[in-house]
Amino acid sequence: MRIGFIGVGKMASAIITGLKTTEHELIISGSSLARSQEIAKQLHVDFAQSHEDLIEQADLVILGIKPQLFETVLAPLTFKQPVLSMAAGISLKCLAQLTNPDLPLIRLMPNINAQQLASSTAICANDKVPSDLLDVTKEICNSFGATFEIAEKDFDTFTALAGSSPAYIALFIEALAKAGVKNGFPKSLALNIVAQTVQATAQTILSGPDSPHDLIDKICSPGGTTIAGLMELERLGMTHATSSAIDKTIEKAKTL
């Protein structure tokens, strides 16, 4: 399959890096021909002379343009193939109005970890998408991470849990590292210790039988250091604050 990208920012570039491990042919069209040539050289892929030229060549088009540019960029174009969009806030209904309501349309929601080919990506599709195209979409998303097929009504929740949460997790890592500095560690050492521990803990939960609650129980010994710290986190409202942050993120997403 020949997959075309209209708009080639950081996220699209990360996806292309993942897709280069597959057998699909890739072609891009950026904001200008000069920009297309420049990015194509960097990514070692083909480029189209224009967006219209790309549509003529591609079997599948992935839109990597910013949401605020959708109307301007898409209005002159006539699509004839399935379209995938990874723009936040652009619903399938809106995408149909801007492209073609008779086409198979799919929304993607990757996160920043696509840059490490470790994205958590949500997908949903309109009723024109056949099962084989959905399988291809999952293959595309799996090339740069893990894929979750969810209902479109849940995209805002996914945005909070996967799209925004890397920032919250980074804040937690930063806070732990600062605590290490407070107690005598150099910042770089504290950060390495914490980041490695967070990564390994997540992997333990993903690969093992233990839930987070089970893991907490295993680490906490009666009257020990860990339970003392956990009780302090709960006293200060960590669980409530985290849940409230997710609620606020979802609330904001619904207004975009």
Strand partners, 148: 122
* Residue 84 contacts residue 106 (beta carbons within 8 Å): yes
Task: Give the integer Cα–Cα distance in Å for 73 and 139.
Answer: 27
49: phi then psi, degrees, rounded to nearest 5: -70, -25
Q: CA dist 34 to 54, 222, 236, Å?
A: 15, 65, 54
The owner of tokens 């606020």 is: 248
Strands 83-85 and 105-109: parallel
1 is in an annotated binding site: no
* Residue 51 contacts residue 28 (beta carbons within 8 Å): no
- Three-state secondary structure of 70-117: HHHHHCCCCCCCCEEECCCCCCHHHHHHHCCCCCCEEEEECCHHHHHC
11 is in an annotated binding site: yes
238 is in an annotated binding site: no
Binding positions for NADP(+) are 6-11
Binding residues, by number, are 6-11
